[in-house]
Amino acid sequence: MSTVVPWRYTASDLDQLSPFGSVLADRMPMARFEGGAWSQPEMISMDDFQLHPGAHALHYGSSCFEGLKAYRWEDDSIALFRGDRHARRMGESAAQLMLPIPEPAMLEPMFVQAVRESAAWIPPDPGSLYLRPVLLGTDPNIGAAGRPSASAVLYVMTSPVGDYFAGGERALRLLIEDKQPRTTPQFGKVKTGANYASALVPTMAARSKYQADQILFCPGGDVQEAGAANFILIDEQRLVTKPLCKSFLHGVTRDSVLTIAGELGLEVEERDFTVDELLEWTQHGEAALTGTAAVLTGVGTLIHDDQEFQLLDGETGPQAKRLRTALVDIQRGRAADSHGWIRKID
């Protein structure tokens, strides 16, 4: 660990892990792609990590990442959640950036290596170990703006985390942005750094002007997603969310929540919907964000054209809580994993 940490976190240590992602393990598995092949992944110290200042990723944005979690169960065993899906998605991101594609057969064992290395620091419920796989184009050639990087580096960082949103499970305030898109059409489903950089100016403006936690991007009135989480509507009968398309990030949490919602008897409607329908929905239903970091967090307030719309009482609603509990129970081994989402790590 790069900061002084206890040998082992207990639930009462979790506030030391805030803000989310600020405590990082100093060792990580790393592999390099050179001359058309990947090296054998090896465990390195972060101090030994080298990147050329001319690296392609630093100049032309050839970088992508993932985010997934491992959990310490009550019996002290460790479980990784849906590593296969995250590995596959990283390959899809890499393909869009014309980076060498790390095959799941190489990447998943690197996830396991990273978790094993940090096993002692995985905090108990409600904490977890956040894994941050990163892939960067490393060609040291600043003239390669119009060419892909032929070399790359891949590593898996880990961070013991508590709650993503400071203030715990407080319901969020979202500003509806109905003109600007979050990113470009070709990068909507790519987990690449540029997307988050391009959302910064509007997100900071939404914070200072409206005290909004995040922006809900709805270009042309089409409700898509927030800056780093997917968006769902829920009521007693149904869950409504945008169908998979190139405009937004295909969340693993979204997929898990949709599956669980169906099993709990909700009708799952994957269809486009507009800001008008969303504002009407606020009169009776709930809304939530889903993501590995956010898990499933209720939306309490939507802000549109300087007007505020409260959902229920501005609190996380009962359906959101029910879905969140069902998901977290699987992740933490309190409910059966009937989908093969869990991989135990010894």
CB-based contacts of 292, cutoff 8 Å, min separation 6 = 67, 68, 69, 130, 251, 252, 253
Transcribe 186-227 into DSSP letters: GGTT---HHHHHHTHHHHHHHHHHH--SEEEE-GGGB--EES
The answer to the question of residue 331 lying near ligand PLP (CB under 6 A) is: no
The answer to the question of residue 316 lying near ligand PLP (CB under 6 A) is: no
Of 194 and 335, which has the nearer Cβ to ligand PLP?
194
Phi and psi at residue 151, in whole multiples of 5°?
-120, 160
Tokens of 65: 């990442």
CB-based contacts of 305, cutoff 8 Å, min separation 6 = none
Length of the chain: 346
For the bound state, the minimum distance from the C-beta of residue 294 to ligand PLP, rounded and expressed in Å, comes to 8
For the bound state, the minimum distance from the C-beta of residue 172 to ligand PLP, rounded and expressed in Å, comes to 14
* Nearest Cα to Cα of residue 127 among 78, 61, 63, 171: 78
Transcribe 245-272 into DSSP letters: -TTS---HHHHHHHHHHHHTTPEEEE--
Kindly tell me which residue out of 249, 258, 287, 295 binds ligand PLP, with binding defined by CB under 6 A: 249
Q: Which stretch binds ligand PLP (CB under 6 A): 9-17, 124-132, 204-212, 284-292?
A: 284-292
Kindly tell me which residue out of 72, 254, 332, 343 binds ligand PLP, with binding defined by CB under 6 A: 254
* Nearest Cα to Cα of residue 12 among 110, 125, 116, 118: 125
Q: Which stretch binds ligand PLP (CB under 6 A): 6-14, 96-104, 129-137, 222-230?
A: 222-230
Question: What part of residues 292-311 is at the interface with ligand PLP (CB under 6 A)?
Answer: 292
Kindly tell me which residue out of 24, 64, 112, 228 binds ligand PLP, with binding defined by CB under 6 A: 228
The answer to the question of residue 291 lying near ligand PLP (CB under 6 A) is: yes
Could you give the count of Cα atoms lying within 13 Å of 223 in the half-sphere of its Cβ?
A: 26
Q: Which stretch binds ligand PLP (CB under 6 A): 113-121, 149-157, 248-256, 302-310?
A: 248-256
Please give the distance of CA 304 from its chain centroid, rounded to a whole number: 25
The answer to the question of residue 252 lying near ligand PLP (CB under 6 A) is: yes
Q: Which stretch binds ligand PLP (CB under 6 A): 45-53, 94-102, 223-231, 337-345?
A: 223-231
Q: Which stretch binds ligand PLP (CB under 6 A): 104-112, 130-138, 225-233, 295-303?
A: 225-233
The two beta strands, 172-177 and 295-304, are: parallel
The answer to the question of residue 151 lying near ligand PLP (CB under 6 A) is: no
Write the binding mask 66 to 85 for ligand PLP: x where contact by CB under 6 A, - elsewhere. -x------------------
Of 137 and 251, which has the nearer Cβ to ligand PLP?
251
Task: Compute the distance between CA of residue 231 and CA of residue 286 in angstroms, rounded to an integer.
Answer: 11
Residue identified by tokens 């059409």 is 185
- Is the bond leading into 104 cis (omega within 30 degrees of zero)? no
Of 113 and 241, which has the nearer Cβ to ligand PLP?
241
Which sign does the torsion angle of CA 2, 7, 8, 13 carry? negative
The answer to the question of residue 134 lying near ligand PLP (CB under 6 A) is: no
For the bound state, the minimum distance from the C-beta of residue 220 to ligand PLP, rounded and expressed in Å, comes to 18
Task: Compute the distance between CA of residue 113 and CA of residue 43 in angstroms, rounded to an integer.
Answer: 8
For the bound state, the minimum distance from the C-beta of residue 252 to ligand PLP, rounded and expressed in Å, comes to 4
Kindly tell me which residue out of 32, 56, 191, 332 binds ligand PLP, with binding defined by CB under 6 A: 191
The answer to the question of residue 229 lying near ligand PLP (CB under 6 A) is: yes
Of 151 and 290, which has the nearer Cβ to ligand PLP?
290
- Which residues contact ligand PLP (rule: CB under 6 A)? 67, 191, 225, 228-230, 249, 251-254, 290-292
